[in-house]
Every structure is written in structure tokens, then in C-alpha cells.
Amino acid sequence: MQTTLALVQILSLVNQSSNHNRNNMKKTLFLFALIAFVSNVHSQEKYFTKAGKLGFDATVPKSPENIDAINKAALCVLDTKTGDIQFSCLMKGFEFERALMMEHFNENYAESDKYPKTVFKGVVTNNTSINSSKDGTYSAKVKGQMTMHGETKEVETEGKIISKSGKIQVLANFNLVFADYKIVIPQLVADKLAKTAKISVDCLLEPLKK
């Protein structure tokens, strides 16, 4: 809106000026429009959500009880120009089917009061082959570091980036070994809780507003 008003004001000045000044004003108008365009394009390079979905499933095969949860409040930022991508979520944001299971997860395994957040910082390594400005589904290779439970480990996986109607959806799956992050599984529940969890990522991103 501010850009539109400024353009109207410049056009008014152009009409009121002399022929000599009018040419200079036209150059100014062109530069102004170019700057506004570049600024708008730049703002579309970064996409964001604070309602991303992160799920994990640590159910042991043939177990009568499912050990899974979902977090619907994950933050995600993607820079389509550089390929930089970042996820962040609060551990207490994971929702379980049973309240007791959630309590055990936060107190005994994740130690959520001591380690409240999990963060992933990485990059889409094949970003140059993804045209996010054009609707389509693209294969994405992601590599980075994830910090959880006070430990930082390398993570590498493949997923999809879906561009549609000005929004971008990020989809990925990878495995997480609890021992890598020094999360101890008590022997008492070893037959119910897998040592490796299946992680799913589903984030619908919108252009980041300045």
C-alpha cells in the first residue's frame, strides 16, 4: 500500500514538471519501481510457519501399545535462495494418546524441563535444481545438524518440496536413534519402546512477512 501511494505521488510530480525535469523524473520513477520489485522478490525468498507437524513413532513391532506422538506447533523457516532450512519445536508440544505416556516422555526420557527444545539447522543440498517459484513437486536432499537432549548430531535425509499457489510444503522422513542423543531406554519398557524412532516432517510454509 505504501509503495502504491509513493508511485502515485511521483506520477503527480512528473505531470507537473517541465519536459527537461520530466525525463529525470521518469528515470527516478523507473529506479523506484525497480527497487520496489526487487524488494518484493526478496521477501518471497523466505517462507515460514509456526504450525508445522513433527511426528515420531517408536512402537516396537507386534507391541499391543502404540508409542507415537505429534507436535503441531513446530517452527520452520526455508530460504529458497540459499536452501537454508531450520526447524524448532518444544518437547512438551508433543501430544500422546495417553497422558501418562506424555508424562513419562517429558520426565524420564526427553527431560523436557532441562532440554526444552529440539532444533535442526541444515541446507537443501540440491537447492539449485528446485524452482520454488513454479508449481511442482521436487525431490529434496537435506543435510544438517540436530540438537536434542543436549547432544548435536549430523542428520541427512531425502524428502519433497511441493510448491503450489505461492505456498511451499516440506515433507521428509528419517530415523532417530535415541542412544545418539544419550536418551536411555529403561529395561522395564525395552519391549515396548523401540531404540530407533521414525520421524516425520510435514510443514506448510507461507511467504515470510517483514
| Max Cα distance, the chain (Å) | 88
111: left (phi over 0), alpha (psi -120 to 50) or beta: left
Mean pLDDT by 10 residues, the chain (210 residues): 45 49 55 47 76 94 88 97 96 93 91 96 97 95 97 97 96 96 84 91 91
pLDDT at 170: 98
pTM of the model: 0.77
Residue 29: predicted pLDDT: 53
Question: Which pLDDT belongs to residue 21?
Answer: 57
Please give the class, per CATH, of domain 45-207.
mainly beta
Rg (CA), the chain: 24
Domain ranges of the chain: 2-41, 45-207
Instruction: Give the pLDDT score at 192.
Output: 81
Q: What local confidence, expressed as pLDDT, does residue 2 receive?
A: 46
Q: Of 32, 13, 122, 16, whose CA–CA distance to 77 is shortest?
A: 122
pLDDT of residue 52: 97
CA–CA dist 82, 181 (Å, integer):
29
